[in-house]
Amino acid sequence: MESHPNPSGARTKLDLLYHEVLGEVVGLVDRLENATQSLDAVQKHMQTMADTQQVLPQQLSRHLIAAMEAAAKPINQHAQHAIQAMLNDTNNRLNHLARDAGQYASIAHHSARRMVLIALAVGGAAGILGGLLAGLALGQILIS
């Protein structure tokens, strides 16, 4: 007939229960610390990725501009060479045309001089002939 429980036995069970609960709490605290460290690492990684994403458009823009300049440079040089070749060809043709035009102008000048001389000769001959005919006609009128 024990009406009073053993205080030392209850105390040990309570101590065991406290130890077990404290062990669980320590395990939970350790897990929380590990989770916190993992979250910190993930946060740092995410921040690094965010920083990279912010810089990425600028880097992409610089690389794109550099690639476009590198691609445009040979095209521009080729176009300049082609234009220069066309200009040289056009210059040669224009020089040839200018020489031909000069020759044609010289021929036209000589032809004009000849035509003037012929016109003077024909006009002079016509004037002389006209004067003779007028003199003859006047002589006929005066003699008659």
Cα angle 105, 99, 116; round to 5: 10
Element (H, E) at 114: helix 7-143
Residues for the chain: how many in total? 144
- 105: its two tokens: 């102008």
pLDDT at 5 over 60: no
Distance CA(69)–CA(28), nearest Å, equals 60
pLDDT at 16 over 90: no
pLDDT in tens, 29-64: 888 999 999 999 999 999 998 888 888 888 888 999
Predicted pLDDT at 2: 45
Q: CB burial class (10 A; 0-12, 13-18, 19+) of residue 94?
A: exposed
